[in-house]
């Protein structure tokens, strides 16, 4: 075991001395994560919908809408409410694109609602913002549906009793408004189980270049074989298991250093959120083992270090693209969304997303999937690496 550690430390010093591991494992992925985040920051982020409101009524019902419903909508941070004085002014702002839509409450609206007469609100939308206009329409329709529920409740009670006084009707309406809705739809936002933009690019670039980083350990065995230094190691009182263990340990430690530095750096510099540290550690270790196994197997199929590096790069790029490290392939239609899980990178990103929306137990399935990659490819690689450690 001591011999394996000495070989590992020797290889680590060599990689750090020529800065190849630092460049591939830290500098390049950190730079690309910054570039991608800067480019797509204004595309993937949700923009605020500016809604104008013209209240020409100022009655009790309209005050309920402007004082309770709209502020609750505005607290979401997605919609900004702008009170306007006149319909003409609000319509002009909508035409210029400064307002996405305008909700108009006409004069006498409250009186007509309280008297049980037909009443309506208007929505004026910007022709260039149809989705925002539909949002405004949904808000008004939801409020109208709630008013109709209250009116129906009052009418049902009033139909089976003696005529009620206005005060009694008003009291019934207040009780109906305060009553809980019998059927409600609770929103469990999918955002809590998805990586935000900063975290996605940080994790995507980290796991993408992880496959390039771990290849240094195994390919160094081919380099030493070509340079003749492997013969000296075999002539020394060192077992082949120690030699192979030292090379694989080098790959593992390079992966750990790379992923740890990137996780800390992107969190501090970009504000990325990786999730529970313990869950992240489980996923990182599983991803490193999978990457090491795959890259080791590819190396055993090559004749020399240069050929191994070329083949490993091709495999790393293909798996990275299929695994969705540059864009969320899992959201693509058709077979591509299912094909993505043939890559360990996809399981790693899925695990981080699930970890963000749940407990640490959410990482076990993605981690197990990556460990299966590690066991299968690593097992095949070990049987072939013994041949490489022979002269």
Q: Are residue 124 and residue 201 in the same domain, yes or no? A: no
Helix, coil or strand: residue 52: strand
**Which of 296, 151, 170 shows the shortest CA–CA distance to 222?**
296
pLDDT value for 188: 47
CATH number at residue 68: 3.40.190
CA 104 – CA 126 distance, rounded (Å): 14
- 8, 56: one domain: no
Question: 88 and 202: one domain?
Answer: no
At 92, list the tokens.
């002009």
Write down the pLDDT at residue 336: 67
Most confident of 24-33, 39-48, 380-389: 24-33
Q: Are residues 345 and 202 in the same domain?
A: yes
Q: Do 177 and 221 fall into the same domain?
A: no
Q: Which residue has the tokens 């996809």?
A: 346
One domain for residues 198 and 172: no
Q: Label residue 46 exposed, middle or buried (CB < 10 Å: 0-12, 13-18, 19+).
A: exposed
Q: How many residues does the chain have?
A: 391
Higher pLDDT pick, 21 / 107: 107
Domain check: are 203 and 220 in the same one? yes
pLDDT score for 369: 93
pLDDT on residue 372: 95
Task: Give start and end residues of each alpha helix (H) in the chain.
Answer: 2-17, 20-22, 28-44, 60-64, 70-74, 87-96, 109-114, 130-159, 166-178, 197-213, 215-227, 229-235, 240-269, 277-300, 305-322, 336-339, 344-357, 364-388
Of 123, 149, 183, which closes a domain? Answer: 183
> Residue 28 is encoded by which pair of tokens?
């390049």
pLDDT at 158: 61
Residue 212 has pLDDT above 50, yes or no: yes
Cα dihedral 17, 19, 24, 28 in deg (nearest 10)? 150
Residue 44 banded pLDDT, cuts 50, 70, 90 = very low
- Say if residue 17 is in the same domain as residue 98: no
Range of the domain at 35: 2-43+192-388
Q: Does the structure show a pLDDT above 50 at 190?
A: no
Report d(CA 389, CA 246) in Å as an integer: 12
pLDDT tens per residue, range 158-169: 666 566 555 655
Q: Which pair of tokens denotes residue 201?
A: 């690019």
DSSP 128: T
Lowest mean pLDDT among 112-116, 233-237, 257-261: 233-237
pLDDT category, 35, cuts 50, 70, 90?
Answer: confident
pLDDT at 144: 85
Contact indicator for 212, 20 with CB cutoff of 8 Å? no
Residue that terminates a domain, selected from 132, 163, 183:
183
Q: pLDDT band for 314, please (50, 70, 90 cuts).
A: very high
Residue 58 token pair: 């100022």
Measuring CA to CA, how many Å separate 36 from each of 270, 316, 320? 12, 19, 15
pLDDT of residue 180: 47
Mean pLDDT, the chain, integer: 80
Exposure string for 329-355, b = 16+ CB within 10 A, e = fewer: bbeeeeeeeeebbebbbbbbbbbbbbb
Cα angle: 41, vertex 46, 49; to 5 degrees: 135
Q: pTM of the prediction?
A: 0.63
The residue with greater pLDDT, 344 or 236, is 344
| Whether residue 258 is found in the same domain as residue 361 | yes
Residue with tokens 């990689």, as numbered in its chain: 15
Report the pLDDT value the prediction gives residue 157, as an integer from 0 to 100.
60
pLDDT at 232: 66
Sheet arrangement for strand 101-105: 79-84, 49-55, 101-105, 122-125
Q: How many domains does the chain have?
A: 2
Q: Give the closest residue to 295 by CA, choosing from 234, 224, 384.
A: 384
- Whether residues 295 and 319 share a domain: the answer is yes
Alpha helices (runs of H) in 108-187, residue ranges in sequence order: 109-114, 130-159, 166-178
**pLDDT tens figures, 332-388:** 666 666 778 889 999 999 898 888 766 788 899 999 999 999 999 988 888 876 665
Is residue 61 within 8 Å of residue 114, measured between CB atoms? yes
- 153 has a pLDDT exceeding 50: yes
Q: Report the chain's terminal Cα–Cα distance, integer Å.
A: 22
Tokens of 247: 């090379």
Burial of 71 (C-beta count, 10 Å sphere; 0-12/13-18/19+): exposed
Structure tokens at 380: 């095949």
CA 350 – CA 363 distance, rounded (Å): 9
183 falls in which pLDDT band (50, 70, 90)? very low
Q: Is the pLDDT of residue 273 over 80?
A: yes
Once rounded to an integer, what is the mean pLDDT over residues 15-24? Answer: 79
Among 183, 217, 242, the domain-final residue is 183
Q: How many CB atoms lie within 10 A of CB 20?
A: 14
Question: Highest-confidence range of 11-25, 125-139, 221-235, by mean pLDDT?
Answer: 125-139
User: pLDDT-based confidence at 184, cuts 50/70/90?
Assistant: very low
Q: Give the pLDDT of residue 227.
A: 66
pLDDT tens digit string along 79-138? 888 999 899 998 898 888 889 899 999 998 888 887 778 888 889 988 788 888 888 888
| 120 and 7 inside one domain | no
Across the range 296-316, mean pLDDT stands at 86
Residues 199 and 324 in one domain: yes
């Amino acid at each position: 075991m001591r011999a394996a550690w000495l070989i590992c430390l020797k290889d680590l010093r060599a990689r750090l001395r020529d800065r190849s591991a630092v460049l591939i494992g830290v500098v390049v992925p950190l730079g690309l994560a910054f570039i991608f985040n800067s480019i797509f920051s204004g595309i993937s982020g949700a923009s605020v919908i500016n809604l104008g409101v013209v209240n020409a009524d100022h009655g009790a019902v309209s005050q309920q809408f402007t004082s309770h419903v709209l502020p609750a909508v505005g607290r979401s941070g997605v919609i900004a409410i702008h009170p306007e004085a006149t319909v003409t002014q609000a319509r002009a702002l909508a035409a210029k694109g400064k307002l996405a839509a305008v909700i108009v409450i006409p004069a006498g609206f409250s009186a007509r609602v309280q008297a049980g007469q037909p009443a309506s609100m208007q929505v004026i939308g910007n022709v260039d913002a149809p989705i925002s206009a539909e949002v405004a329409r949904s808000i008004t329709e939801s409020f109208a549906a709630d008013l109709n529920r209250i009116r129906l409740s009052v009418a049902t009670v009033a139909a089976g009793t003696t005529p009620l006084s206005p005060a009694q009707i008003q009291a019934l309406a207040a009780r109906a408004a305060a009553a809980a809705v019998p059927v409600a739809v609770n929103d469990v936002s999918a955002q809590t189980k998805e990586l935000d933009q900063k975290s996605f690019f940080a994790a995507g670039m980290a796991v993408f270049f992880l496959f390039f980083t771990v290849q240094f350990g195994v390919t160094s065995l081919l380099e030493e074989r070509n340079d003749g230094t492997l013969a000296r190691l075999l002539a020394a009182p060192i077992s082949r298991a120690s030699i192979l263990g030292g090379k694989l340990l080098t790959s593992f430690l390079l992966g750990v250093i790379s992923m740890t530095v990137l996780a800390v750096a992107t969190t501090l510099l970009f504000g990325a959120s990786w999730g529970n540290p313990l869950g992240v550690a489980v996923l990182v270790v599983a991803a490193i083992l999978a990457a090491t196994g795959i890259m080791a197997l590819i190396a055993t199929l090559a004749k020399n270090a240069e050929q191994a590096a070329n083949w490993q790069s091709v495999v790393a790029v293909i798996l990275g693209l299929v695994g969705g490290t540059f864009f969320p392939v899992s959201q693509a239609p058709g077979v591509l969304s299912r094909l993505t899980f043939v890559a360990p990178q996809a399981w790693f990103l899925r695990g981080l997303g699930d970890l963000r929306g749940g407990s640490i137990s959410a990482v076990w399935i993605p981690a197990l999937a990556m460990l299966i990659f590690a066991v299968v490819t690593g097992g095949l690689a070990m049987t072939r690496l013994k041949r490489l450690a022979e002269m």
